Amino acid sequence: MIRALAILIALVPAVVYGDVGRACTGGRPQAVANIVGCTAAPCDLVRGQDVIAYIDFTTDRAVQSMTTIPTATALGITAPYPLPAEFAETCNWLEGASCPLSPNEDVTYRLTIPVLPIYPLVSLSIEIDIVDQNDASVACFVVDAQVVPATV
């Protein structure tokens, strides 16, 4: 009984989210993207709620500071998907690490993306590029998603 319970507890996080990202273009370093509540793309982005993603990556160089730059593509149009300033400062949201980072450091970053109630109900791809103080990519991934209405 205890063994079965231990196995169930170990499997619960895998059911809640899984790696749903794919590689960015241009050979940028790929991150592993785990989005809470999404086990397979397209991920639902619920109007009026925040999306929480845990992004795992390994630095390939020393990094002093980082910024998160999201870009959305929907209906054939690509546009910036600006984050509120407090969420764009990547170093403020690292778990178990802090900037500056050393080369080959394993990092987990908790990203919060607000989904505003005014967003249209569309399918889209979101590219998340994490860049360093020189605007060079540190980690990147693309996730397919769809904006869905909040259920009452």
Please give the tally of structural domains in the chain.
Answer: 1
Provide the domain limits for residue 80.
25-148
- Condensed to tens digits (0 to 9), the pLDDT of residues 16-71 reads 456 889 999 999 999 999 999 999 999 999 999 999 999 999 999 999 999 999 99
Contacts of 50 by beta carbon, 8 Å cutoff, 6+ apart: 112, 113, 114, 115
105's tokens: 């450091």
- Condensed to tens digits (0 to 9), the pLDDT of residues 92-146 reads 999 999 999 999 999 999 999 999 999 999 999 999 999 999 999 999 999 999 9
Asked whether residue 114 is assigned to any structural domain, the reply reads: yes
CATH code of the domain containing 66: 2.60.40.770
Is the pLDDT higher at 41 or at 13?
41
Judge contact between 149 and 49, C-beta under 8 A: no
